Structure 1
Amino acid sequence: MQQVPLSEKLFHGAVSLEKTKEFVKPWRIPFDQKDLFVPACINGQAELPAGIRVTLRSNTESIKIAIVEATEFMQMDCLIDGILVKTAYISKGETTVLFNSLGSQMKVIELYLSQKVPVAVTGIYLDEGSEWEVIEDSRLQWITYGSSITHCYYSHSPSQTWPTLVANELDLNLTCLGYSGNCHLEPMVARMIRDLPADFISLCVGINIVGGKTLSERTFSSALIGFIQTIRDVQKDVPLAIISPIFHREREQQENEVGLSLEKVRVEILQVVNTLKKYGDKNIYYIDGLEMFGEEYEKWMPDGLHPDGDGDKILAARFRQMIESTIPQGNIRKY
């Protein structure tokens, strides 16, 4: 097989790349500033490549991706022209993943990396003599920030997380900033979103803050306002959707030790959005998490908190419906 040089243009959806002589590893924070994203690179979540894919155009009938040995079981997906054709199941210790029988036509190949396990790529290999080229993704850029609900550990496979499903349906270039257990409105994350190219931004906030007791009735709204206004320092007119928590029976009405429940958080988020509209933000929108994934969908949440793989498909469909009905003209692509 012929080896493809590991160009940064092959990696789509990453914030940055860690490059060594041996490998290229995608990150969801700026790697050269990683020590500023405390604690421990957002508790290790920033090196998990949710939504990140290796992308090229080629007529190869097979593609092999070589990696630093897998630290645990994981999956990768191969999409051809946007359609999922194969899922690979990679055991701990494996170092190569092969997708074959892909057809001899010129096609866009996307390899979605595991959303659960760090992946360091040591090589990309195509059939000897095949043609290939890198692709510039000119689609509108969508940045979505959130918790494990956005990170999607429980999806059927890496390309079937709800943000990826929505991005592919709406033809958007996704950067997924779902950090499982670690969506706490950190200022450094707001600064990062501020400085990334974006045509649409969504923030799903509240569930980790209530569960982790990291903000209180006194501090939650002010932290959310500061987070949004930091983004608005640069992203002044980009459509910005603020999503309140989806249903979680245990924390709906039960207040935590600092006085917050999910019901209270939803009220505060709506108040923040309305206040910012009052002060001139004409492109900020509220999406009610209960309308997106409410009690009626609880059977797709085996642990009572996280949607399963089928639940993610419902989330994708509901989110698309809600942004199309909430954002004027009904379609992000018109911005």
Structure 2
Amino acid sequence: MTRSCAQWFSTPVTAAMLRGWIELENTQYGIVPHRLPAWARRQWADPQLLMAEAQPSGVRICFRTEATAIELEALPTRRVYTGLPPRPDGTWDLVIDGRLVRQGTIPGGRVVRIDPSTWSTGTAPWAEVEEGRPGLLRFADLPAGSKEVEIWLPHDEAAELFTLRGNAALDACGHSGRTTWLHHGSSISHGSNARHPTGIWPAVVARLAGVDLLNLGFGGSALLDPFVARTIRDQQADFISLKLGINVVNMDLMRLRGFGPAVHGFLDTIRDGHKTTPLMVLSPILCPIHEDTPGPSLPVFSDGQLKFQAAGMDEDAAKGKLTLRIIRDVLKDIVTQRRISDPNIHYLDGRVLYGGADHARLPLPDGLHPDGATHALMGERFAAAAFGEGRPFA
């Protein structure tokens, strides 16, 4: 982009300009949005969780301006996995007055090289970091006149935010006046395999329902951690949804005896801060490899592609190991029991969002995660099931 001689306005990215975050980390030159507070990150410094919560899924910069040209200086953090093709650069979505109008990437940045064979265990050395330089995201030839601008950060790439510039003044939007929907879930809620940040299914819901999204979907880390429940308890939210179960199977983390009480404890903690807030528990979407076969899920690398397979044995379910069918039954029973004294808790079978007929038409590319078209479908269906007329979040 070639600048004209017109005056340019510059401002650091501030808390007042950001939405969808839990805590901001101040660095030497800018800020890093986090989706878990520092005290929670310290309680269990799992590398997968720390990577996931620092990826700003659902976080966006919001300001009003008459600028027709905008640039953002930021330092992205890219991931490179040993043995796999390079990942595409993270996509930044430009939304003007609620409509996606442009997309861009930031060149350069920091690189984290990850060895998948040691990553999941946290065994050192699981990653090497190569420092890099900040880059510029540029958008030119924008519509004239006053407008609300949102820049949605990449859902799957961490970023340190420095300076925002434009050829007109840039004013923080302030409070939107919309209700807040807090959603917690796994990598699917985080946005795995979605093409861009406003294409993840929770962002699709937020647009259709006209709500502000606080997305606490953490890839590989929806594990009923008590510190996540306390984080949710302490946030302002008008609606809360929890998509639970798939990561517990992925990691073969619990048996049936532990899972039920852990779900109750997670809900009890949230209810300590949200006694009557409408709360929906979602069970897992259809995932054929784990419907009747327990975990763990193991990655399989073939022809440069990553896929997952179930490593458990079907007969182990009789010994208390968890499958998705068992988890759905447990979650439904728990919500049914709690509704006796808590009429504001609700259950939704995840197969309403993605079921057998959908799998025949839109199979999960890697065996676990939906593609971009399926994210859109799931968003449309959840918006109708939760926020539609007469529905729990209406």
**TM-score when normalising by structure 2:** 0.80
Q: Is the 8 A contact 2:70 2:165 kept in 1?
A: yes
Match of 1:307 among 367, 370, 373: 370
Give the fraction of aligned pairs with identical amino acids, expressed as a percent. Answer: 29
Q: Which sections of structure 2, spanning at least 5 residues, go unmatched?
A: 1-7, 80-88, 110-133, 295-311
Question: 1:260 corresponds to which residue?
Answer: 322
Q: Which sections of structure 1, spanning at least 5 residues, go unmatched?
A: none
The 2-side partners of 1:41 and 1:228 are apart by: 24
The 2-side partners of 1:277 and 1:95 are apart by: 51
SS in structure 2 of the partner of residue 246 of structure 1: coil
Aligned pairs, number: 329
Alpha-carbon shift at residue 43 of structure 1 (Å): 4.0
Question: 2:248 corresponds to which residue?
Answer: 209
Alpha-carbon shift at residue 322 of structure 1 (Å): 1.6
Question: 2:219 corresponds to which residue?
Answer: 180
Question: 2:309 corresponds to which residue?
Answer: none
1:80 aligned onto 2:96: yes
The 2-side partners of 1:331 and 1:86 are apart by: 34
The 2-side partners of 1:124 and 1:311 are apart by: 34
Q: Is the 8 A contact 2:16 2:172 kept in 1?
A: no
Q: Is the 8 A contact 1:292 1:318 kept in 2?
A: yes
The 2-side partners of 1:34 and 1:43 are apart by: 7
Alpha-carbon shift at residue 331 of structure 1 (Å): 6.6
1:226 aligned onto 2:265: yes
Question: 1:317 corresponds to which residue?
Answer: 380
Residue deviations 1:214-249 (CA, integer Å, cap 9, x gap): 111111110001001100011000010000000011
The 2-side partners of 1:69 and 1:293 are apart by: 32
Alpha-carbon shift at residue 134 of structure 1 (Å): 3.3
Q: 1:69 to 1:276 in 2, by over 3 A?
A: closer
1:126 aligned onto 2:166: yes
The 1-side partners of 2:170 and 2:163 are apart by: 17
SS in structure 2 of the partner of residue 51 of structure 1: coil
Q: 1:91 to 1:68 in 2, by over 3 A?
A: closer
Partner AA of 1:78 in structure 2: L
Partner AA of 2:357 in structure 1: E
Question: 2:148 corresponds to which residue?
Answer: 108
The 1-side partners of 2:108 and 2:157 are apart by: 10
The 1-side partners of 2:48 and 2:233 are apart by: 18
Alpha-carbon shift at residue 103 of structure 1 (Å): 1.2
The 1-side partners of 2:90 and 2:152 are apart by: 11
Which runs of at least 4 in structure 1 moved beyond 4 Å after TM superposition?
A: none
Q: Is the 8 A contact 2:353 2:378 kept in 1?
A: yes
Question: 1:144 corresponds to which residue?
Answer: 183
1:6 aligned onto 2:13: yes
SS in structure 1 of the partner of residue 73 of structure 2: strand
Q: How does 1:30-49 map to 2 (within 5 A)?
A: 30-31=37-38, 33-40=40-47, 42-49=49-56
The 2-side partners of 1:198 and 1:25 are apart by: 23
Question: Which 10-residue stretch deviates more, 13-22 or 86-95?
Answer: 86-95
Q: Is the 8 A contact 1:34 1:41 kept in 2?
A: no
Alpha-carbon shift at residue 262 of structure 1 (Å): 0.5
Residue deviations 1:154-208 (CA, integer Å, cap 9, x gap): 1121111110111111111101011111110000000000000010000001011
Q: Is the 8 A contact 2:49 2:220 kept in 1?
A: no
Question: 1:170 corresponds to which residue?
Answer: 209
Question: Which 10-residue stretch deviates more, 191-200 or 88-97?
Answer: 88-97
Question: 2:137 corresponds to which residue?
Answer: 97
SS in structure 2 of the partner of residue 330 of structure 1: coil
Question: Which 10-residue stretch deviates more, 315-324 or 254-263?
Answer: 254-263
What is the CA RMSD across the aligned residues, in angstroms? 1.8
Q: 1:64 to 1:170 in 2, by over 3 A?
A: same
The 2-side partners of 1:90 and 1:168 are apart by: 25
Q: Is the 8 A contact 2:283 2:349 kept in 1?
A: yes
* Greater percentage in helix: 1
Question: 2:357 corresponds to which residue?
Answer: 296
SS in structure 1 of the partner of residue 144 of structure 2: coil
SS in structure 1 of the partner of residue 229 of structure 2: helix
Which protein has the larger Cα radius of gyration, Structure 1 or Structure 2? 2
